[in-house]
Amino acid sequence: MAALTVEAYGADLAGFLGFLSRHLGAEATLADCAGLRPADLRAYLAAEAGRGIGAASRARRVSALKSFFTFLRRRHGVDNAAPRTLAAPRRKSPAPRALAPEQALDVAREAGSLEDKPALAARDVALFTLLYGCGLRIAEALALNLRDLPPLPQGGALRVLGKGAKERMVPVLPAVAAALAAWVALHPARDPAAPVFLGARGKRLDAAVAQKVMRDYRRLAGLPEHATPHALRHSFATHLLAGGGDLRAIQELLGHASLSTTQRYTAVETEALMAVWRRAHPRA
């Protein structure tokens, strides 16, 4: 395992054994570990929650405990089923942070203004227009080759290879097709296998370069710190949902394996509705 993982699990187990010493009134022995009940383990997790330890960290502690007791069973013959009954605390996924529609459009139109070279400016406009207009992950966009694009500037459907090598088709809006066509017209390569987005040295564009372009632009334009390339994907989904888009269709467009992942965007829309209610209702 990675060194940091080993260190984290070691710290979790040291904390657990320290709790047992206090809980039992003496340093825990193998016999004590064999006799622990589910209530003892739940008391440990409750104590961690009382210290303000978050759900994600407590879930890691549960994982550490289960691994530890598996080790005790295999190496020392201590067979205690209590840890296997523990359920990890449910982690609350943070609501995706989208940009306002005018902010997302501003990024798509103006992100290329930082470049002096027309070709690189067209590339940046095409990239950020694609991220917002099609909801792609930055890695998905940078993995595209010229042969993956629909006929330009007419548009059509874009073939995207997502997580787990799962392929999906995403419709390309006229504005996205126009931005891609402007960049492809200046593209130095004509090989269909060439990357769509190239760096200044002619290699496939690195995600760090795109993130830096976005970071520089958001500071210049006074956009919030969460204005990142991935925020454009969040904005795509949030704005579709706000416009009456079907949740299942948005799931397909985003390439989510589970609808529960897409449902996070409903929380964003609910928050927006509550904000309007608070501003408008006389008793809010």
- Catalytic residues, by residue number, are 137, 163, 230, 233, 256, 265
Q: Which residues contact 243 (CB under 8 A, 6 or more apart)?
A: none
Residue 117 token pair: 């070279």
Q: For residue 19, which of 37, 43, 38, 39 has the smallest C-alpha distance? A: 43
| Contact predicate 99/218, CB 8 Å | no
Q: Which residues contact 53 (CB under 8 A, 6 or more apart)?
A: 61
**φ, ψ for residue 96 (rounded to 5)?**
-60, 140
Q: Is the peptide bond between 38 and the residue preceding it cis, with omega within 30 degrees of 0?
A: no
Per DSSP, the chain holds a count of helices (H) and strands (E) of 13, 2
| Contact predicate 114/216, CB 8 Å | yes
Count of CA atoms in the C-beta half-sphere (13 A) of 253: 22
